[in-house]
Each structure stands twice: as structure tokens, then as C-alpha cells.
């Protein structure tokens, strides 16, 4: 993990993956898939939406749909109580 990634996670950012489905301009009936991944801040996802805005301005391929997955990665530790006490004899 890079220093930048750790600092982003401590600021609340988490790993965001987006499946971007789009139509190619030379084959409009063919649906393509592009996978994008970066650290982003839910629920507004400003980094992803900046990327999608750039896509609309500079890339000729028309967007069909975007599916977003997000995981915070850094958070409180999870634990569960166990009802067994065992002797180490």
C-alpha cells in the first residue's frame, strides 16, 4: 500500500471499483466494458464522477451504464464473543 493510499483511507476514502459499460462509436451495437478503480469518498463519489465527466467531454464512446462497488478497507476491528473457555494444559 502506498503512503497516498493510506492517507486517503484515513480521511474516509475507500477503494471504489466501477464497471463502465459503453458503446463503441465504430460499432454502436457492440457493448464494451471498462473497469475503473481508485480511492473515492462515498456516497457522492467525486473522483469517479470527475472521471465520468472527463469521459463525456473527451471520449466519443457513449456511456450505457455504470455499476459501482465500494469497500472502506480501514475501519473498526471486527470481533465476536465465543462461549468456549479452554485450558492450555
Q: Which one is predicted more confidently, 9 or 86?
A: 9
Per-residue DSSP letters for the chain? Answer: --HHHHHHHHTT-EEEEEEEEEE-SS-TT-EEEEEEEEEE-TTT-HHHHHHHHHHHHH--SEEEEEEEEEE--S-PPP-----------
Nearest CA to 20 out of 78, 77, 76, 59 is that of: 59
- The residue range of the domain holding 9 is 3-71
Question: How sure is the predictor about 1, in pLDDT bands with cuts at 50, 70 and 90?
Answer: low
pLDDT at 6 over 90: no
Domain presence at residue 76: no
Q: pTM, whole model, 2 decimals?
A: 0.76
Count of domains forming the chain: 1
What is the Cα–Cα distance from 9 to 38, expressed in whole angstroms? 11
**pLDDT tens, residue by residue, 21-52:** 999 989 989 999 999 999 999 889 999 999 99
Q: Is residue 37 part of a domain?
A: yes
Structure confidence by residue, pLDDT tens digits, 53-84:
999 999 999 999 999 999 887 666 666 666 66
Amino acid at each position: 500500500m502506498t503512503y497516498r493510499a493510506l492517507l486517503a483511507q484515513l480521511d474516509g476514502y475507500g477503494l471504489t471499483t466501477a464497471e463502465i459499460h459503453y458503446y463503441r462509436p465504430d460499432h454502436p451495437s457492440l457493448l464494451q466494458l471498462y473497469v475503473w478503480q481508485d480511492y473515492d469518498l462515498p456516497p457522492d463519489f467525486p473522483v469517479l464522477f470527475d472521471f465520468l465527466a472527463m469521459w463525456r467531454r473527451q471520449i466519443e464512446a457513449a456511456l450505457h451504464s455504470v455499476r459501482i462497488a465500494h469497500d472502506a478497507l480501514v475501519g473498526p476491528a471486527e470481533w465476536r464473543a465465543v462461549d468456549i473457555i479452554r485450558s492450555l494444559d
